[in-house]
């Protein structure tokens, strides 16, 4: 390839990459991952097309319901705070408007997971009897042993 063609090809590639980057940025077609530390909680989430993907908010914490709930509740407050702060400082730049709209939309639409963990209440006699009956029924379902069926009938009162 001659030097002029090589330089022209490199120029065309550079212009094409700049245009492509500008288009994907403005439309937000690529999935972006973000982690924001807020109130001593790291809040990870993804967004695409300038909308927070609700199912990705706090996803790494999902195996621990208590931490997940705390993270999602904090994320809801974060989105509201970012919306408020970005609304107070308007800017004509398109990116500011897109980000503000994204966080304001998330502040309104995002539904956190609310979990309260407490000790189980003691079962009353009726609940215990029902639980024992259910266990006896489950044992009898896969058995043809007359002793198991008699026990089911005794526990369930059949």
Which residue range forms the structural domain that includes residue 45?
31-118
* pLDDT tens for each residue of 17-28: 555 555 556 566
pLDDT attached to residue 44: 97
- Cα–Cα distance between 112 and 58 in angstroms, integer? 10
Residues 69, 14: one domain? no
Do 46 and 73 touch, CB atoms closer than 8 A? Answer: no
Determine the average pLDDT of the residues in 76-97. Answer: 93
Edge-to-edge strands, sheet with 41-48: 32-38, 41-48, 51-52
Is 104 found in the same domain as 49? Answer: yes
98-156 confidence digits (pLDDT tens): 999 999 999 999 999 998 877 777 778 888 888 888 888 888 887 888 888 888 889 88
pTM more than 0.95:
no
Structural domain tally of the chain?
A: 3
């Amino acid at each position: 390839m001659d030097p002029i063609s090589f330089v022209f090809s490199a120029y065309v590639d550079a212009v094409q990459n700049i245009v492509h980057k500008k288009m994907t940025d403005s439309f937000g077609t690529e999935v972006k991952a973000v982690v924001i530390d807020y109130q001593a909680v790291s809040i990870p989430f993804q967004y695409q097309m300038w909308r927070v993907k609700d199912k990705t908010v706090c996803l790494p914490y999902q195996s621990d319901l208590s931490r997940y709930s705390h993270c999602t509740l904090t994320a809801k407050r974060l989105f509201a705070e970012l919306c408020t702060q970005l609304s107070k400082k308007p800017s004509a730049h398109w990116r500011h408007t897109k980000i503000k709209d994204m966080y304001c939309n998330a502040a309104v639409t995002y539904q956190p997971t609310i979990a309260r963990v407490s000790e189980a209440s003691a079962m009353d006699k009726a609940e215990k009897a029902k639980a024992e009956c259910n266990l006896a029924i489950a044992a009898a379902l896969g058995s043809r042993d007359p002793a198991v069926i008699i026990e089911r009938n005794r526990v369930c009162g059949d």
